[in-house]
C-alpha cells in the first residue's frame, strides 16, 4: 500500500467548511493522509493515523493545488515588442492575435508541444496542479486539430477556441468562417476537445455568431464556456447564462443586469487579473460579484499577447490588490473556484476523496501569497499524491 502522511502542518486549507474554520475549512496543527493518489484522512496532527511514510511540514501552510481554468498555451513565438509598445501608450485590441496565428501555423508539432510543456511545467512548479488549455492560434481545420491533439497530451481540460478571431483570409467574410467552424471544425476537433469557447467581444465575434457556434458545439457534445466583455460592455455574460456555460471569462465590463443574471445561474464568473496588468486596462471591481453571492474564479490567462504568466500566486496578489478580493476569496477562487469553472469536484479542495494535489508553502500562512508578491513561496508541490 502506498501511504504518505503529511503532519505538523501549521495551517491547512481544505476548502471544506465542514472540516474547519471559515469557507476555507482551515485546520491548525493539521495532518493529511494520502493513499493511492487521494486524500483518505484529514484532521489534527496529534490524532493522525500511522503511515508507511511521514513527512514533517515543520509548521508550514498547506493549500490545495491551484486550478488554472483559462489558458492559451499552444502557440509559437512571443509578442514582447507588442507588450513594450503598450507600455509606451498603445492600446490593446484583439487584432494582435493574428501575429501569433501566423507564427503558430508555421511551427512544427514538436516545437508547439515543447513550448506548451515548458509552460505547463513552469505553472506546476509554482503550484498549478490542474490546467485548462485552449486552441485558437491555428484557425484552420488542420491547425485547430493539431493544436488540440497537442493540448490533450498535457491535460484532460482541452477547449476548442476556433472562434478566437476571424483569420485574415476570411477578412470581411466572418459569417463564412463561422460556417466553417460549425460545419467542419467542430466535428473534426471533437475527439480532442472537452469544451467549446468563443471570444464574444468588440473586434472578435458578435453575440449572434457566438450563439450559433456554441449551440453547434453543444449539439456535438462539447461543453460551453465563453470569453465575454473583456474589451467592452456587451451581451457576452447574458449569452453565457442563456446557454448554461460553465464559466464566463474576463468579464472586465459588467453591469447590474449581468450580476442579476449570474445570481440566478450556475455559471462561474472568472476574472483574469493578468490581462488587465499586461494591457494596462482598468481592473473590474470583483467585490460586486462576490457580494451578490456569485461563484467566482480567477485564472492566469497565460498567452503570448495579453497575459504571459503561469504564476497563480502572482494572479492572487493582483486580485487582492486591484480587484478587491480578500486574501481568502482570492485563494478560494484560484482553487475551488477554478475547479467549479471546470465542473470538477475532485480537485481544488483537500477533503477525503479529493485528488491529492497540494502545495506546501514556505510560510506559515496563505496570506503571504498576496502579502509577498513576486516571491517564490512554494516549498513543495504534490500532484496525484506524489511529490514533483
Helix (H) or strand (E) holding 217: helix 207-219
Looking at residue 95, what is its pLDDT? Answer: 61
Lowest average pLDDT, out of 87-91, 97-101, 121-125, 268-272, goes to 87-91
Residue 289: its pLDDT value, please? 98
Q: Average pLDDT for residues 341-360, to the nearest whole number? A: 98
Q: For residue 64, what pLDDT is reported?
A: 99
pLDDT at res. 21: 84
Q: What is the pLDDT of residue 364?
A: 97
List pLDDT tens digits, range 371-383.
999 999 999 999 9
pLDDT digits 0-9 by tens, 201-243: 999 999 999 999 999 999 999 999 999 999 999 999 999 999 9
| 387 three-state secondary structure | strand
Residue-level pLDDT at 93:
64
pLDDT over 90 (residue 92): no
Instruction: Name the pLDDT band for 258 (thresholds 50, 70, 90).
Output: very high
pLDDT at 265: 98
Confirm whether pTM is higher than 0.85.
yes
Place of cell 466583455: 229
90 or 368: which leads in pLDDT: 368
Q: How would DSSP label each residue in 272-324?
A: -HHHHHHHTPPPP-THHHHHTT--EEE---BBTTTB----HHHHHHHHHHHS-
Query: Is residue 1 pLDDT above 70, yes or no?
Result: no
Asked if the model's pLDDT at residue 96 lies above 90, the reply is no
CB 56 within 8 A of CB 163: no
* Cα Rg, the chain, nearest whole Å: 21
Determine the Cα–Cα distance for residues 61 and 139; give it in Å rounded to an integer: 44
**From CA 341, how far away is CA 299, in angstroms rounded?**
10
What's the burial of 161, exposed, middle or buried (CB within 10 Å: 0-12/13-18/19+)?
buried
The 3-state secondary structure of 33-81, one letter per residue: EEECCEEEEEEEHHHCCCCCEEEECCCCEEEECEEECCECCCCCCCCHH
Rounded to whole angstroms, the Cα distance separating 383 from 130 reads 9
Contact of 366 with 114, CB cutoff 8 Å: no
The pLDDT tens digits of the residues spanning 313-329 come to 999 999 999 999 999 99
Mean pLDDT of 298-304: 98
Residue 361 has pLDDT above 80, yes or no: yes
Reported as a pLDDT band with limits 50, 70 and 90, residue 264 is very high
HSE-CB of 221 using CA atoms within 13 angstroms: 8
Report residue 91's pLDDT band, with 50, 70 and 90 as the boundaries.
confident
Residue 271 bridge partners (DSSP): 298
- Strand ranges inside the chain, DSSP E: 3-13, 26-35, 38-44, 53-56, 61-64, 66-68, 128-134, 157-163, 195-200, 223-224, 226-228, 247-250, 268-271, 296-298, 358-361, 378-383, 386-387
161 three-state secondary structure: strand
Contact status, residue 202 vs residue 225, Cβ threshold 8 Å? no
Asked if residue 17 has pLDDT above 70, the reply is yes
Domains, the chain, with CATH or none: 3-65+349-387 (2.30.40.10), 66-341 (3.20.20.140)
pLDDT at 94: 55
The pLDDT > 90 percentage for the chain reads: 96
Average pLDDT over residues 122-135: 98
pLDDT tens, 155-211?
999 999 999 999 999 999 999 999 999 999 999 999 999 999 999 999 999 999 999
Amino acid at each position: 500500500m502506498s501511504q504518505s502522511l503529511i503532519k505538523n502542518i501549521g495551517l491547512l486549507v481544505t476548502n471544506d467548511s465542514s472540516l474547519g474554520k471559515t469557507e476555507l475549512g482551515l485546520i491548525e496543527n493539521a495532518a493529511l493522509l494520502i493513499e493511492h493518489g487521494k486524500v483518505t484522512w484529514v484532521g489534527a496532527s496529534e490524532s493522525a493515523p500511522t503511515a508507511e511514510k511521514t513527512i514533517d511540514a515543520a509548521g508550514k501552510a498547506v493549500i490545495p493545488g491551484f486550478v488554472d481554468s483559462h489558458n492559451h498555451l499552444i502557440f509559437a513565438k512571443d509578442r514582447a515588442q507588442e507588450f513594450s509598445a503598450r507600455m509606451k501608450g498603445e492600446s490593446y485590441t484583439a487584432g494582435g492575435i493574428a501575429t501569433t496565428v501566423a507564427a503558430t501555423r508555421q511551427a512544427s508539432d514538436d516545437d508547439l508541444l515543447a513550448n506548451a510543456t515548458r509552460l505547463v511545467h513552469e505553472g506546476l512548479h509554482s503550484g498549478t496542479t490542474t490546467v485548462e488549455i485552449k486552441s485558437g492560434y491555428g484557425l484552420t481545420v488542420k491547425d485547430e486539430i493539431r493544436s488540440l491533439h497537442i493540448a490533450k497530451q498535457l491535460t484532460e481540460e482541452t477547449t476548442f477556441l476556433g472562434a478566437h478571431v476571424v483569420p485574415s483570409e476570411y477578412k470581411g467574410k466572418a459569417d463564412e468562417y463561422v460556417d466553417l467552424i460549425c460545419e467542419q471544425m467542430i466535428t473534426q476537433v471533437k475527439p480532442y476537445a472537452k469544451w467549446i469557447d468563443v471570444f464574444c467581444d468588440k473586434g472578435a465575434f458578435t453575440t449572434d455568431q457566438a450563439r450559433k457556434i456554441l449551440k453547434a458545439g453543444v449539439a456535438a457534445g462539447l461543453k460551453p464556456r465563453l470569453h465575454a466583455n473583456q474589451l467592452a460592455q456587451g451581451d457576452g455574460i447574458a449569452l453565457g447564462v442563456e446557454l448554461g456555460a460553465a464559466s464566463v471569462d474576463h468579464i472586465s465590463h459588467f453591469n447590474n443586469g449581468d450580476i442579476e443574471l449570474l445570481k440566478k445561474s450556475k455559471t462561474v464568473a472568472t476574472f483574469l487579473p493578468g490581462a488587465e496588468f499586461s494591457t494596462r486596462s482598468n481592473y473590474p471591481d470583483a467585490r460586486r460579484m462576490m457580494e451578490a453571492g456569485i461563484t467566482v474564479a480567477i485564472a492566469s490567462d497565460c498567452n503570448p499577447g495579453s497575459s504571459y504568466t503561469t504564476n497563480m500566486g502572482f494572479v492572487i496578489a493582483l486580485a487582492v490588490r486591484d480587484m478587491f478580493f480578500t486574501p481568502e476569496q482570492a485563494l478560494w477562487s484560484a482553487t475551488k473556484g477554478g475547479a467549479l469553472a471546470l465542473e470538477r469536484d475532485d480537485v481544488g479542495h483537500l477533503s477525503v476523496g479529493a485528488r491529492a494535489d497540494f502545495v506546501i508553502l514556505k510560510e506559515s500562512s496563505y496570506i503571504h501569497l498576496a502579502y509577498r508578491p513576486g516571491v517564490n513561496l512554494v516549498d513543495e508541490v504534490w500532484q496525484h499524491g506524489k511529490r514533483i
